[in-house]
Amino acid sequence: MNLEQAITASADRIRATGRTPAIAVVLGSGWDGISEAVEQAIDIPFAELGAFPALSVAGHAGTLRLGAIGGREVALLRGRKHVYETGDAAAMKGVIRTLAAIGCGTVLLTNAAGSLDSAMRPGSLMLINDHLNLVQRTPLHGEPGNERFVNMADAYDPALRAQAHAAAAAAGIALHEGIYAWLLGPQFETPAEIRMLQRLGAQAVGMSTVPETILARHAGLRVLGLSMLTNMGCGMEAEVLSHAHTLHTAEATRETAARALQAIIPALVL
């Protein structure tokens, strides 16, 4: 089966549930708490969706959960494939194209990230308003036609951002806003790299999301991005970075993140 066939088969499998999600949410580290708030949930393992990746990072379930949040039909992706796992920048291509095929017009991308701004503390949330693709990797190699020259202005939809801010404020959840810098990982940054990113104007750094944003914009989907800041960038403070430390803060912020999504998702005008 080639990718096109896998996308068609995956879209058929999702359509067979009778659900028609208008928004998909890719759940990064710490963001999975929202899964418990889904009403009338139907789970489809990624293994049954040929266009979806097999996952290897522990703690990622690898399930598509269809259901409703605050009356809104959603598709939650419990787990994602990172470029650092295989080096494949197009690892999420089948997922994003399947979402487009089922008529899901918006994707909310969530992640865990390091904060580059001392005023944005670990355990807080940041709306992504733009990104830096310093890696200069793309999931669009091999794509035909002029559509590949994707306009990346306002890639993170300004209207959705305004609605997200309003919804978070109404729910009493602080939401920072800033630029997300993508580095490949899986190693954390050096202190010199963190200083470089700060000089370049980024507020957060992470190892995901950017390839998915590019894929989504190429597929014509609107994008909203949210970062959970799990730590200060390496060298900014005395703390020693580790994956365990990141997961610890992510766990402690799980409830806030779920509340934010519960407020934001139904409030978006799709």
Segment 222-241, which members bind ligand HPA (CB under 6 A)? 230-231, 233, 241
Please give the C-alpha separations between residue 162 and each of 128, 145, 154, 175, 265, in angstroms, as whole numbers.
Answer: 12, 33, 12, 11, 13
C-alpha to C-alpha distance for 254 and 36, rounded to whole angstroms: 11
C-alpha to C-alpha distance for 65 and 192, rounded to whole angstroms: 40
- 8 A C-beta contact, residue 128 and residue 227: yes
**Shortest Å, Cβ 74 to ligand HPA:** 24
Contacts of 44 (CB under 8 A, 6+ apart): 13, 14, 17, 63, 64, 66
Measured from the CB atom, the residue of 64 and 210 that comes closer to ligand HPA is: 210
Residue span 186-215 as binding mask against ligand HPA, x where in contact by CB under 6 A, dash where not: --xx---------------xxx--------
Measured from the CB atom, the residue of 74 and 179 that comes closer to ligand HPA is: 179
Query: In the structure encoding, which two tokens stand for residue 252, read together?
Result: 């402690």
**Shortest Å, Cβ 112 to ligand HPA:** 4
Q: What is the largest CA-CA distance in the chain?
A: 52
**Shortest Å, Cβ 184 to ligand HPA:** 10
Measured from the CB atom, the residue of 106 and 208 that comes closer to ligand HPA is: 208
Identify the three-state secondary structure at position 231: strand
Segment 112-141, which members bind ligand HPA (CB under 6 A)? 112-114
Binding window for ligand HPA (CB under 6 A); candidates: 31-39, 46-54, 107-115, 133-141: 107-115
Instruction: Give the residues lining the site for ligand HPA (CB under 6 A).
Output: 112-114, 188-189, 205-207, 230-231, 233, 241, 246
